[in-house]
């Protein structure tokens, strides 16, 4: 029972670290976007260019943030240790079933008997 409690604790700890990193990434994204916008608009970093370069950087950064969000709240939520363990157990059961079928076909085949 203690092992189960420890696994639950470690899983919760890992999820908290992931969410904390996501929130930090979000704050960094907001501050970085604000800095890029201010640098582009008010400090003249866009002189000589007609395109709004900070918009492209912010859009790319937002896309990366969305991927991070999907990983934390969708992918890792469903494909955790429990899911992995269930998939392994299912595949082992399928392999064992196939081995049993092969053994029974060998045992039932009269040509294999000596």
| pLDDT tens digits, one per residue of 43-98 | 766 666 666 778 888 999 999 999 999 988 888 777 777 788 888 889 999 999 99
CB atoms within 10 A of CB 54: 19
Tokens (6 digits) for 96: 């064992």
d(C-alpha 33, C-alpha 35), whole Å: 5
Helix axis angle for 53-70 and 2-41, nearest 10°, is 170
- Please tell me the pTM assigned to this model: 0.64
10-57 pLDDT, tens digit each:
888 988 999 999 999 999 999 999 998 888 777 766 666 666 778 888
Give the pLDDT score at 113. Answer: 57
Report the alpha-carbon distance of residue 73 to residue 19 in Å, rounded: 9
Query: Which class for 8: exposed (0-12), middle (13-18), buried (19 or more C-beta within 10 A)?
Result: exposed
Rg value, the chain, Cα: 27
Mean pLDDT of 108-114: 66
């Amino acid at each position: 029972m203690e092992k189960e409690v420890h696994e639950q604790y470690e899983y919760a700890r890992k999820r908290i670290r992931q969410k904390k990193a996501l929130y930090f990434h979000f704050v960094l994204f907001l501050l970085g976007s604000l800095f890029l916008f201010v640098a582009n608009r008010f400090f003249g970093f866009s002189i000589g260019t007609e395109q709004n370069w900070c918009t492209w950087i912010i859009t790319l950064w937002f896309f990366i943030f969305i991927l991070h969000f999907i990983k934390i709240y969708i992918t890792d939520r469903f494909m955790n240790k429990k899911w992995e363990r269930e998939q392994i157990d299912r595949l082992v059961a399928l392999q064992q079933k196939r081995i049993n079928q092969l053994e029974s076909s060998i045992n039932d085949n009269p040509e294999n008997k000596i």
